[in-house]
Amino acid sequence: MTWLPTGLRARLVITFLLVAVTASAMVAGLGYQLVRRELLDRAERAAVADVRETLSTITLPIGASDVVWPSDSTVTDDDLAGLVNALNAPGRSVIMTYGDLQHTSPDGRFTLSDVPDQLRWQSGRRLVYQRLRIGNQPWLLVATQIQRINQSGAQRATGLTAYVFVSLAEEEGVLFRLRTALAQAGGITLTIALTVALVSARRVLLPVRRLGVAARALGSGDLHVRLPVRGKDELAELTATFNETAAALEHTVSELRTLESLSRRFVADVSHELRTPLTAMTAVTDMLTEDAARLPDDAGEAMRIVVREIDRLRVLVEHLIEISRFDSGAAVLRQERVDVGDCLADSLEMRGWADQVKLTMPVGLMFSLDPRRFDVIVANLVGNALQHGSPPVLVRARVDRQGLEVTVRDHGRGISEEALPHVFDRFFKAGSDRARSVGSGLGLAIAKANAELHNGTITAERCEPGTLFRLRIPRS
């Protein structure tokens, strides 16, 4: 798994360091290569020039034919030793050959096997040299066959071949110290780059961090938050844009809150104003209901429709008044320790549902809650199950370590998956067949509001068959 930094600060610092390290490495690498090449080339030129000068001034041994020699005596091992001593110097090792004869420096460090075959072949024609690494040490090998002017004035080979090994240990030491210095300079550069990167990232990200804090405050409802605008760069423009956006949002939210307040007040006022005529209408319809059986069929049916719609309007007005209490914050929770079984049984009995609902729960189940609001929750859940579901309707209650749990389940066709997330929305009715039902579309919303007043929750789940509503109220 590849680790990648996600924070903007980390990415800025890493990018800055990568640029600094890359630039430093390139400069150090190029500088090192230039110094190395110049140092080694200078060492090669100096060594080759010294070998040439030495070979041009030394006295050659007697015995080489067709060359201007004092006599034609054969070259001896002592002659080769003299040539070796002439070419020898501190930091050098020499091999001199003449035919089958061979003589090396007193240290005997090298043999002809250390000389590459190609270099040995090329040395018969001209002076050649090559850098070698022998025994983990750097050496410059200069090889040439010694030539002299013969009696006719032509340059002829003498048969003497010199192999001079010149140590490059001093140059390698200089390069090692240079690498060490460059590495130390790279470490210092990296430290400086890291410090500069952290300071720069802080200077760049501080306005961004302030914007983040202000945005979170704005999201949490603090619409008065503003930031000081410093400078004229892109971050200053972004800060100014944020302030303008916050001001526009504050103005819009203020207007929406005013409209919402007016709307809630209007609903509450209308609901209360409707309550008085509804009370009178209900009283009149109660009397007319008694005479509906004696009216003609058409008049009796019309009377029953009026009574049903007035009853529906009464329920709607009561629910609107209840919702307006929650919207205005006037709903108050009055908790007391009660027997949950008695509360459930009384709620079902009072509405005539005791014979239609199967209640299952342990005896003596005590819990702290608001009995009136708990009754509203149960009445809405059970009423919804009886009206829109199919029997049997099951109600179960239990208390565990988390709190009280009450479930209401019917065995009807259930609520569709598309409608399930919206069952607690106000005025929502699942399915076109429920559009003209007696319910107001506010019952489940009121049940949820009462549950939340208890710091509890209500959820709806599909079952096979039916729908399950689950009420959970935590311990206070």
pLDDT band per the 50, 70, 90 thresholds, residue 67: very low
**What is the model's pLDDT at position 34?**
92
pLDDT band per the 50, 70, 90 thresholds, residue 337: very high
Comparing 195-199, 268-272, 336-340, the range with the smallest average pLDDT is 268-272
Same-domain pairing of 13 and 147:
yes
Instruction: Inform me whether the pLDDT recorded for 246 exceeds 60.
Output: yes
Given a contact cutoff of 8 angstroms between Cβ atoms, the answer to whether 366 and 339 are in contact is yes
pLDDT band per the 50, 70, 90 thresholds, residue 272: low
Rounded to a whole number of angstroms, the CA Rg of the chain reads 53
156: phi then psi, degrees, rounded to nearest 5: -125, 150
User: Residues 190-210: what's their mean pLDDT?
Assistant: 81
**What is the model's pLDDT at position 405?**
92
Same-domain pairing of 165 and 43:
yes
Comparing 9-18, 337-346, 347-356, the range with the smallest average pLDDT is 9-18
pLDDT band per the 50, 70, 90 thresholds, residue 82: confident
Same-domain pairing of 382 and 301:
no
Block residue for tokens 């003589």: 103
pLDDT band per the 50, 70, 90 thresholds, residue 343: very high
Interhelix angle 169-219/234-291, nearest 10 degrees = 30
Same-domain pairing of 171 and 37:
yes
Same-domain pairing of 64 and 89:
yes
User: Residues 221-229: what's their mean pLDDT?
Assistant: 84
pLDDT tens track for 11-60 = 778 887 888 888 888 888 898 899 989 999 998 999 889 888 888 877 76
Instruction: Domain count for the chain, please give it.
Output: 3
**What is the model's pLDDT at position 473?**
92
Identify the three-state secondary structure at position 45. helix
User: Residues 366-383: what's their mean pLDDT?
Assistant: 90
Instruction: Inform me whether the pLDDT recorded for 404 exceeds 90.
Output: yes
Whole domain around residue 311: which residue ranges? 259-328
Same-domain pairing of 301 and 413:
no
158: phi then psi, degrees, rounded to nearest 5: -90, -10
**What is the model's pLDDT at position 408?**
92
Neighbours of 205 (CB within 10 A): 17
Same-domain pairing of 431 and 301:
no
- Encoding tokens for residue 236? 């200053």
Instruction: Inform me whether the pLDDT recorded for 217 exceeds 50.
Output: yes
User: Residues 164-181: what's their mean pLDDT?
Assistant: 90
Q: Within 220-330, where are the H helices? A: 234-291, 297-328
pLDDT tens track for 108-145 = 788 888 889 888 888 888 889 999 988 888 999 999 88
Decide if 198 is inside a domain.
Answer: no
Instruction: Inform me whether the pLDDT recorded for 69 exceeds 60.
Output: no
Instruction: Inform me whether the pLDDT recorded for 426 exceeds 60.
Output: yes
**What is the model's pLDDT at position 437?**
53
Looking at per-residue confidence, does 152 or 95 come out higher?
95
Given a contact cutoff of 8 angstroms between Cβ atoms, the answer to whether 227 and 214 are in contact is yes
**Chain mean position to CA 364:** 53
What is the rounded average pLDDT for all residues in the chain? 81
Same-domain pairing of 351 and 275:
no
Same-domain pairing of 282 and 430:
no
- Whichever domain contains 447, its CATH number is 3.30.565.10
Q: Which of 47, 283, 309 is nearest to 164 (CA)?
A: 47
Decide which of 175, 195, 225 is a domain's last residue: 175
- Encoding tokens for residue 350? 């009072």
* Cβ-based burial of 95 (10 A; exposed 0-12, middle 13-18, buried ≥19): buried
- Whichever domain contains 312, its CATH number is 1.10.287.130
Instruction: Inform me whether the pLDDT recorded for 239 exceeds 90.
Output: no
Decide which of 127, 149, 175 is a domain's last residue: 175
Range ranked top by mean pLDDT from 83-92, 101-110, 374-383? 374-383
Same-domain pairing of 154 and 12:
yes
Decide if 202 is inside a domain.
Answer: no
Decide if 443 is inside a domain.
Answer: yes
Instruction: Inform me whether the pLDDT recorded for 409 exceeds 50.
Output: yes
Instruction: Inform me whether the pLDDT recorded for 235 exceeds 90.
Output: no
Same-domain pairing of 29 and 159:
yes
Decide which of 275, 295, 328 is a domain's last residue: 328
Looking at per-residue confidence, does 56 or 73 come out higher?
56
Same-domain pairing of 282 and 386:
no
Looking at per-residue confidence, does 304 or 240 come out higher?
240
